[in-house]
Structure 1
Amino acid sequence: MSPKRFFIALLQLQTFVASAMYRPAEWDRHDEIIMAWPSIENDAYADKGGSRDLAAATKDISAIAEAVAEFEQVTLLVTPDRLKEAKNRFKHDADDIIIQPIYDYPKLDLWMRDMAPTFVFEGCHLSGVDYNFNGWGNKYPVNASKSLTSQVCDNMDLTRISTWLVTEGGSLEVDGDGTLLITKSSIINENRNPGKSQRQIEDELRRTLGVSKIIWLPGVKGGDITDGHVDGLARFVAPGKVVISKPNTLDDSQFSTVFTEARLILSNATDSRGRRLEVIEMVEADLYSLGLDRGTLKNIESSEEDYPSLSYVNWLLVNGGVIFPQFGDKKADAAALKIIRDLYKDRQVMTVRLDQLPFLGGGIHCSTQEVPEH
């Protein structure tokens, strides 16, 4: 190759690298965490316990926000119907918890991992990917004229990246080193991406996240609202190291099957660098040790009783810390807490007791979205 052609090729490569998208790992530093209070108009709470569940969910979210604010800024999205209430609730935390009004999203829910932008870098520029949130496969349609991602990007003066792909942030677990963990059930699904092949979906995931290796776990369709998001099943703690959520009791239930299948795949998987994954098990809390007075979830498809989200792997990493769930099962709480402290010896682990979010189908990670430092 002539020197001139080599120089042109080098410039083309530099242009490609500068424009490529990249999703950082959660353990990288953040500028802030985005959260939200659910709106009074949200149908999900009317379908469940009404104002009682709304108040209980708000209590859990507020506790998470206050824990996060010990480490980094929180931007809390709030609809006009609750703006005065939120400002009064956090009047002593005004420097650390910023109340952001949201006017064009009347059925705002608290699940910011799925509804807010998935932040990526395009070269040195931070942008937000809009994955076309559709209420987890139209189970809870949002009926908004403008996506929440668009509104958040506008408020932050960031570029919104469009895509035809329909998914949620809770489906996407990256190690920042080229590897993505994801469940087939949550994205290769007619309620999100009808008519799209696995190859087409993989190509778009690679484009929008900057990954080179995708590890597919089966998951389960219709088992919960999310169709089996990965962030309640398996999480990276470092490149080459994964923690998997293990049911408190292994039986013939679909959740035991989900664990068994995922455990086998992860044990034999390699990441983008060819490393064999180290897999650590973290046993879930036991529903029956908590009492059944708050009821259980209902399976989306069959309306049969379903197990609440008592997975400890739904933690959140913050600058210098870990926000970690506790459910009231003393034995399981203590065992999971010891594991996370051993895994993150260089971080402060702050616990938050969750009483309502598990019975709404999620947890700490589901309700937060980090904004990478830029």
Structure 2
Amino acid sequence: MEIDPKFNFKGNSGSDPVCPSALGYFFPAEFHKHEATWLSWPHKEASWPGKIESIYPAYSEFVACLAKGEKVNIMVADAAMQTFACEQLYRAEADMNQVVFHHFPTNDAWCRDHGPSFLLNQDKEMGKAIVDWGYNAWGNKYPPYDLDNLIPEKVALILKIPCFKPGIIMEGGSVDFNGKGTLITTEACLLNPNRNPQHSREEIENILRDYYGVRQLLWLKDGIIGDDTDGHVDDLTRFVSENKVVTVVESDKKDENYQVLKENLEMLQAFRLPDGQSLDIVELPMPSPVIYENTRLPASYANFYIANKHVIVPTFRDKNDEKALDIISGCFPDRKVVGIDSWDLIWGLGSFHCLSQQEPAYL
């Protein structure tokens, strides 16, 4: 079956006869080999008030690490922003032969949530596709977001691949995948009335099955304190293989996150995959509370990014940094685990996973 890449498939309730899953498309796990990583260059001062200049060394180190194993596509507003980005990346000694700039203006840097969601097809001849989920800046918290909302379709047009439009709000950080038909998410985010109040839980599940090509949804409840996304799962629990997850836990019973993370762990222990197998669960510590200007920030080691050759983990100048790196290293024997200081980045309420979106490769 041939698909004209100029045609946008528009779904409505998840029962669209030309939805991606009906055509054989699916969303691979992040640990699947990448063709590239997509980023939106940080420029919005309001996201890092008083600190935006301090984030560029860590961000550029992140890009330099990515470029050692895959192409890095970076969206910038114009030539001036590209020149500034190049200056920062040269200082980090990034391989600029691996970096490609696209003049696509954005409102903010959180490409995990506003960027393209890439699908592969069981039939390689069908090529890739993109799902263009609606984006409203986590429940209309940070307008404007009109430029961000245009990004998936722009990427689909330059790559000349199909672009599906389910017609609901969805953020990449709210879901995680094992690549074999299972998706994990949270009720706090996906069922929040500031996203899709017109849809029931069952309707949302059907849309996710149809447009991500999954069969099973596992629901956790709440996210960590300080997370302005209403509980993104990429700060909580991540698939590191088809049946293994790492999940953050809090050992201090007086900490605000203790009970929430304890309940999520108990839910994970009760979950079963479609073949009846239980999840292999690896517990990951939380850092000590990171507080800036009397605000507790959503610091979590779970916000790591799995690249082709590396796993890039945020660190927080904390006693648990090395322990977290060691635990994550044990989950990825075929990749080098790299910790990059996220002390300033986290003032923007996100870290490396929130900033990036993978483009999978056909194996």
1:20 aligns with 2:24: yes
1:350 aligns with 2:338: yes
Alignment-mate amino acid for residue 28 of structure 2:
P
- Gap regions ≥5 residues in structure 1: 1-15, 298-306
Alignment-mate amino acid for residue 62 of structure 1:
S
Displacement of 1:53 in angstroms is 2.2
Report if aligned partners of 2:117, 2:130 keep a CA contact under 8 Å in 1. yes
Match of 1:149 in 2: 152
Alignment-mate amino acid for residue 94 of structure 1:
M
Q: Secondary structure at the match of 1:238?
A: coil
Match of 1:114 in 2: 113
Displacement of 1:220 in angstroms is 4.7
Match of 1:199 in 2: 202
User: What whole-Å deviation, never above 9, does each CA across 1:302-344 have from its counterpart, x for those lacking one?
Assistant: xxxxx21221111111113211222111x20111111111121
TM-score (norm 1): 0.84
Alignment-mate amino acid for residue 36 of structure 1:
S
CA RMSD in angstroms, aligned pairs only: 2.3
User: What whole-Å deviation, never above 9, does each CA across 1:202-253 have from its counterpart, x for those lacking one?
Assistant: 0000001111111101115995321010000000111221111123523262
Match of 2:35 in 1: 31
| Matches of 2:32 and 2:357, distance apart in 1 | 13
Match of 2:4 in 1: none
User: What whole-Å deviation, never above 9, does each CA across 1:119-148 have from its counterpart, x for those lacking one?
Assistant: 112443211111101111100123426611
Q: Structure 2 vs 1, CA of residues 246 and 144 (structure 1 numbering), >3 Å: closer, same or farther?
A: same
1:368 aligns with 2:356: yes
- Gap regions ≥5 residues in structure 2: 1-19
Match of 1:336 in 2: 324
Q: 1:321 aligns with which of 299, 310, 319?
A: 310
Match of 1:64 in 2: 62
| Matches of 2:201 and 2:246, distance apart in 1 | 25
Alignment-mate amino acid for residue 152 of structure 1:
V
Match of 1:90 in 2: 89
Alignment-mate amino acid for residue 359 of structure 1:
W
Q: 1:251 aligns with which of 235, 251, 254?
A: 254
Match of 2:193 in 1: 190
Q: Structure 2 vs 1, CA of residues 143 and 316 (structure 1 numbering), >3 Å: closer, same or farther?
A: closer
User: What whole-Å deviation, never above 9, does each CA across 1:57-115 have from its counterpart, x for those lacking one?
Assistant: 33332221111112211111111252221133335632022222214x4x2x1111101
Alignment-mate amino acid for residue 24 of structure 1:
P
TM-score (norm 2): 0.86
Q: Secondary structure at the match of 1:185?
A: helix
Q: Secondary structure at the match of 1:313?
A: coil
Q: Structure 2 vs 1, CA of residues 132 and 17 (structure 1 numbering), >3 Å: closer, same or farther?
A: closer
| Matches of 1:220 and 1:325, distance apart in 2 | 18
Match of 1:46 in 2: 46
Q: Structure 2 vs 1, CA of residues 48 and 110 (structure 1 numbering), >3 Å: closer, same or farther?
A: closer
Alignment-mate amino acid for residue 26 of structure 1:
E
Q: Which moved more, 1:182-191 or 1:88-97?
A: 88-97
| Matches of 1:221 and 1:328, distance apart in 2 | 19
Q: Secondary structure at the match of 1:204?
A: helix
Match of 1:137 in 2: 139
| Matches of 1:67 and 1:48, distance apart in 2 | 23
Q: Secondary structure at the match of 2:324?
A: helix
Alignment-mate amino acid for residue 335 of structure 1:
K
Report if aligned partners of 1:186, 1:221 keep a CA contact under 8 Å in 2. no
Match of 2:230 in 1: 227
Q: Which moved more, 1:352-361 or 1:362-371?
A: 352-361
| Matches of 1:367 and 1:315, distance apart in 2 | 10
Q: Secondary structure at the match of 2:73?
A: strand
Alignment-mate amino acid for residue 244 of structure 1:
T
Aligned length: 336
Report if aligned partners of 1:37, 1:58 keep a CA contact under 8 Å in 2. no
Report if aligned partners of 1:321, 1:349 keep a CA contact under 8 Å in 2. yes
Q: Structure 2 vs 1, CA of residues 170 and 143 (structure 1 numbering), >3 Å: closer, same or farther?
A: closer
| Matches of 1:216 and 1:280, distance apart in 2 | 18
Alignment-mate amino acid for residue 101 of structure 1:
H
Which structure has the larger Rg over C-alpha atoms?
Answer: 1
Q: Structure 2 vs 1, CA of residues 202 and 131 (structure 1 numbering), >3 Å: closer, same or farther?
A: same
Q: Structure 2 vs 1, CA of residues 249 and 97 (structure 1 numbering), >3 Å: closer, same or farther?
A: farther
Alignment-mate amino acid for residue 275 of structure 2:
R
| Matches of 1:208 and 1:56, distance apart in 2 | 38
